[in-house]
Chains A and B, each alone.
Chain A
Amino acid sequence: MYDVIVVGQGLSGLLSAIWAKQQGKRTALAAMGTGRIIQSSGVMDSIPGTQDWQGNPIQKGAIEAFKRLTEKMGYPYKGEIENPISIVTGAGHVKKTILYPATISPIPEQGRVVIVGFDHILDFQPTFVQKNLQKARPTLMISTLTVQLRKHSQRTLTQLDAARLLDQSEVRNDCIRQIQQQMYEKNISQPDLFIFPASLGMEKWQETIEHFSTELNAKVTEAPGMPPNATAIRLHERLKKEAVQLGVRFYENTVVFGCKLDGKIIDSLIIKNGSYESVISGKEFILATGGILGGGLEQTSIGLKETALGFETNESGELLYCPSNLYPVGASNGLRVIHHGITGGVYSILSAHEAIAKIGKNPMMGGTRSA
């Protein structure tokens, strides 16, 4: 018997589980697979807007709790809801975002930048990035260059593979030498900022950033683009490890395909691992199944279907009846919040934090862990 059971391990699910456990609740998390955070850019966008929380104390508390958590995990995020910043993406577009990791710096209006690509990382093409960035920043002086990672591979390399390579200082030294050499040959003047794909180290991101900025004598930033981005994977791996170390019980590779009701509230979830079916019971339930993109909602010929609990929804995917011990968070809130295509990270943070605050206040729950 758990105090809180979370369904889904995207950003919404992992944050809910961590925060529930931090409150001393016996917490379990059941999920079919990883969430969309793996495909994301790792920065927290404000989609849909945060109007729902305007003036609500939850908002400030949630953002602060997220920053404290990422700081503790050794991968701190910066930024404020009131002050979106502009960053450059791996396609060269400039976009506004709210929260961003320490490996990212805002893109300036003017000055000089150099875009650096890696020969085998086809997802990031410096000249393509340059073309788009120039449109958004007409007065910025932009140069490009491409360096070699000199690694033979049996598969297509991703930005994440490059990030793992750059954890090694020999690989970094080699890249730095090539950058300096090419700048000299191509007569590129010293820039204010170097733009890399989202590849600046995994475990050793801090060392990597410092190494590059010291040797190159300028700021460096990652421009997240085609997944997998190291920016997002660093966050995902750390959130998962944090949850496990705190003692959240993971039921992975597990499909939730129904629930048992006790009168008007949920009593337990029906789960399946392969052909192996079982039941886990709890007091409060958090639905973080990610809507259409996350697998929590399915488009069928008769409209949207909720997949995990078997509940009926209206035409925009919101639950027709939501038991008092069920809290939908993130993209599982239906089309109202996903009409822009996706819900951004900020919405996940705010809704997860709000759900946990409600659970904390719920008198039914009583004090700390029951076991």
Chain B
Amino acid sequence: MLDLFFHEDTFEKCLKCNACVVNCPVSNETFDFGGPKHLGPELKRLMDNQQVIDDKRIELCTLCGNCDISCPENVHVSTLTAYAKAIHSELSGTKFRDVVLSNAEFVGKLASAFAPITNLAMGMRPVRKVMEATVGIPADRLFPKYRFNHFNRLYNKKTASTKRKVAYYVGCYATYNAPNVATSFVKVMEYNGIEVVKPEQKCCGVPMFANGQLKQGLKNANFNIQRFLEYTRQGYDVVVTCTSCTLALKKEYVSFLQTEDAKELASHVYDADEYLRVLMENGELNTNFAPREEKARYYAPCHMKAQGIGNPAMDILELIPGYEIQDTGAGCCGQCGTFGFKVEKYDVSMNIGNKLAKTVNDVNAEYTVTECGMCKNQLDQLTDQPVKHPMEILAEAYLVGDKVLANK
């Protein structure tokens, strides 16, 4: 049984200033949502005085973290809303669909094993209509493709012998849907003389937290913490290419578990571009990028913003000669992991997404760059522009740069 009387006392600092509500993408789109101030600190205050309260309105929270970003009092709003979600699932039960969606890893394993069939079926209108009617996954929602040759089939290195050593947390998306991101990352590290290992790992738990499956999510968290600590204690750095996974490892594990192990691991975790920036600052970065006369736009995932690391993807991409990139300054994408795959949330998801699409299209460029696979899914559906991960661009720039060097 989950301890529903969790300890989290930052709510006491809440001044009811509404900054979180003003910046909550869901509150701005629908009046059906109770909003972060009410379902975060206010609910927690009530619960600490009385019994546990199950508030159905919490279902609409996406755990995007914009409330945390905007709170001037440093209240851990989204930790509080995550607990409210867990309480709601515990007391009111979870839809079968949400259990499935929260198991991104299980779905990934299964779907990629039968990849050609899965992709075909997910693209077929009648199949999708049935899915909408039976499990509540909207027929119009684009589904990410699954790859038969997923990263687990491609890469299994377990030890490294270079000076800097990286333990790669791959995450479900790069494993099952976008192995190209993962292989690009390994190459980028290779060009910097760094060997990458892939420790045994489970899904970071983000989709579970978002669906109120906190207990299961924290099981995964503990598993990942133990596996990766074995590596950090041997001098490895933990590097991640998915911004939601990074945030989980850096911050969410610590806020939920509050253990020394979680904190120890967090201090070794880097976003992939952030890691390259560390190399740059130490004068270790290989900057032999082939020039690319391209203009790209950058879309910042909420979970990148929540890390408080500036904009490492742009910092690194701007080192490519001739390369131009501009931040769109767009807000939340509205896909929010599993949120946009639910029929009853589809309208809210699309309304948030349409605003984003407009801002994205306002910036004139050849393609969009973003780190998050779920944001990419929304961008693929709502804009006609290609979407790339920074690692894919960097791997190409190194590859061509190398050829140029070899021909000299």
Taking Cβ atoms with an 8 Å cutoff, the residues of A that contact B are 1, 28, 30, 32-36, 38-39, 151-155, 157-158, 160-161, 164, 227-228, 233, 240-242, 244-245, 247, 249-255, 271, 273-277, 280, 294-295, 371
B259, chain A: closest CB distance, angstroms: 11
Contacting pair A274 B251 (CB below 8 A) = yes
| B31→A228 contact, CB < 8 A | no
**How far, in Å, is B177 (CB) from chain A's closest CB?**
28
Given contacts A244-B327, A247-B327, A250-B305, contact A274 B310 (CB under 8 A): no
- 1/0 contact string of B1-45 vs chain A (CB within 8 Å): 000000000000000011101110001100111110010000000
Residues B69 and A33 in contact, CB atoms below 8 Å apart: yes
* Among listed B70-78, B86-94, B134-142, interface-contacting one: B70-78
Q: Which residues of A contact B57 (CB under 8 A)?
A: 154
Query: Separation in Å of the B62 CB from the closest CB of chain A?
Result: 16
Q: How many A-B residue pairs have CB under 8 A?
A: 121
In the complex, A271 Cα to B307 Cα: how many Å? 12
Q: How far is the CA of A280 from the CA of B306 in the complex (A)?
A: 17
Give every chain B residue within 8 A of A295 (Cβ-Cβ).
72-73
CA distance A255 to B23 in the complex (A): 19
Q: B22's contact among A228, A271, A274, by CB below 8 Å, is which?
A: A228
Q: Are B74 and A255 in contact (CB under 8 A)?
A: yes
Contact partner of A35 (CB less than 8 A), chosen from B72, B250, B319, is B72
Contact of B31 among A39, A151, A255 (CB under 8 A): A151
Complex: chain A residue closest to B310, CB-CB: A249
Are the C-beta atoms of A155 and B33 separated by less than 8 Å? yes
State which residues 305-327 of B face A: CB under 8 Å.
305-311, 314-315, 318-319, 326-327
Is A276 a contact of B267 with CB atoms below 8 Å?
A: yes
Set B31, B68, B263, B300: member contacting A157, Cβ < 8 A:
B31
* A274 contact from B71, B255, B281, B329, Cβ within 8 A: B255
Given contacts A33-B70, A253-B308, contact A276 B31 (CB under 8 A): no
Q: B266 in the interface, Cβ–Cβ < 8 Å?
A: yes
- B21 smallest CB distance to A (angstroms): 8
What A residues does B23 contact at CB under 8 A?
Answer: 34
- What are the nearest 9 A-B pairs in CB distance? A33-B72, A249-B310, A153-B31, A273-B308, A244-B329, A254-B308, A241-B329, A274-B251, A245-B329
Q: Which residues of B contact A35 (CB under 8 A)?
A: 72
Apart from A36-B72, A151-B31, 17 more pairs, CB < 8 Å: A32-B72, A33-B19, A33-B73, A34-B70, A153-B31, A155-B27, A155-B34, A164-B28, A228-B18, A228-B21, A249-B315, A253-B306, A273-B251, A273-B309, A274-B255, A275-B251, A371-B319
Query: Nearest Cβ distance between residue B240 and chain A, in whole angstroms?
Result: 13
In the bound assembly, the distance between CA atoms of A151 and B32 in angstroms comes to: 10
Q: From residue A89, how far is it (CB to closest CB) to chain B in Å?
A: 18
Beta-carbon contact of A233 and B72 below 8 Å: no
B328 to chain A: which residues have CB within 8 Å? 245
Complex CA–CA separation, A241 to B326 (angstroms): 12
Q: How far is the CA of A280 from the CA of B190 in the complex (A)?
A: 27
- In the complex, what residues of B have CB within 8 A of residue A247's CB? 311, 314, 326-327
Chain B positions near chain A (C-beta within 8 angstroms): 17-19, 21-23, 27-28, 31-35, 38, 57, 65, 68-74, 250-251, 254-255, 263, 266-267, 281, 300, 305-311, 314-315, 318-319, 326-329, 363
Closest to B254 in A: A275
In the assembled complex, which residues on chain A have CB atoms less than 8 Å from the CB atom of B311? Answer: 247, 249-250
A251 CA to B74 CA, complexed, in Å: 14
Bound Cα distance from A227 to B16, whole angstroms: 11
User: How far apart are B13's CB and chain A's nearest CB, in angstroms?
Assistant: 10
B305 to A: closest C-beta gap in Å: 6
* Cβ B18 vs Cβ A275 within 8 A: no
Residues on A with C-beta less than 8 A from B34 are: 154-155
Given contacts A32-B74, A274-B254, contact A38 B18 (CB under 8 A): yes
Contact of B19 with A252 in the complex, beta carbons under 8 Å? no
The chain B residue sitting closest to A203, CB to CB, is B355
CB <8 Å contact, A155 and B310: no
The chain A residue sitting closest to B55, CB to CB, is: A154
CA distance A33 to B308 in the complex (A): 11
A283 to chain B, nearest CB (A): 15
CB distance from B284 to the nearest CB of A (A): 15
Within 8 Å CB of B255, what residues of A? 274
**Is the beta-carbon distance between A38 and B308 smaller than 8 angstroms?**
no
**Nearest Cβ distance between residue B128 and chain A, in whole angstroms?**
30
Chain B, Cβ-Cβ closest to A164: B28
Assembled-state Cα–Cα distance A154/B61 (Å): 14
In angstroms, Cα B73 to Cα A294, docked, is 9
B35 in contact with A240 (CB, 8 Å): no
Q: Which residue of B lies closest to A39 (CB)?
A: B17
Given contacts A228-B22, A275-B263, A276-B266, contact A251 B309 (CB under 8 A): yes
Contact A250 B250, beta carbon cutoff 8 Å: no
- Who on chain A is nearest to B70 by CB? A34
Give every chain B residue within 8 A of A276 (Cβ-Cβ). 250-251, 266-267, 307-308
CB neighbours of A155 from chain B (8 A): 27, 31, 33-35, 38
Best-buried of B22, B71, B307 by chain A (most CB within 10 Å):
B22
- B300 cross-chain contacts in A, Cβ below 8 A: 244
How far is it, in angstroms, between the C-alpha of A201 and the C-alpha of B49 when the chains are bound? 40
Chain A residues closer than 8 Å to B35, beta-carbon distance: 155
Residues of B contacting A245 with CB < 8 Å?
A: 326-329, 363
In whole angstroms, how far apart are the Cα atoms of A154 and B35 in the complex?
Answer: 9
Contacts of B71 in A (CB 8 A): 32-34
Task: Name the B residues within 8 Å of A280 (CB-CB).
Answer: 310
| B310 & A251 in contact (Cβ 8 Å cutoff) | yes
Q: How far is the CB of A260 from the nearest CB of chain B, in Å?
A: 15
**Chain A: minimal CB distance from B127 (Å):** 35
Q: A247-B327, A273-B307 are in contact. Are A154 and B19 (CB under 8 A)?
A: no
Q: Is the CB of A251 within 8 A of B308?
A: yes
Is A154's CB under 8 angstroms from B32's CB? yes
Choose one: B308, B315, B327; the contact of A30 (CB below 8 Å).
Answer: B308
Check B266 against A275 for contact (C-beta < 8 Å): yes
Closest to A2 in B: B310
CA distance A154 to B34 in the complex (A): 6
State in angstroms the CA–CA spacing of A275 and B308 once bound together: 12
A277 to B269, CA, bound (A): 11
A252→B329 contact, CB < 8 A? no
Least CB separation from A1: chain B residue: B281
A residues near B310, Cβ cutoff 8 Å: 28, 249-251, 280
Can you sample 14 A-B contacts with CB below 8 Å? Answer: A33-B19, A33-B72, A38-B70, A154-B31, A160-B22, A245-B326, A245-B327, A245-B363, A251-B309, A252-B305, A255-B74, A274-B250, A274-B255, A275-B251
Question: Within the complex, what minimum Cβ distance (angstroms) separates B370 from chain A?
Answer: 14
Question: B309: nearest residue on chain A (CB-CB)?
Answer: A251
- Roughly how many angstroms separate A158 CA and B328 CA in the complex, as a whole number? 28
- Asked if residues A152 and B31 are in contact (CB atoms below 8 Å), the reply is yes
Residue of A nearest to B280 (CB): A371
CA distance A4 to B328 in the complex (A): 22
Q: In angstroms, how far is the closest chain B Cβ from the Cβ of A81?
A: 29
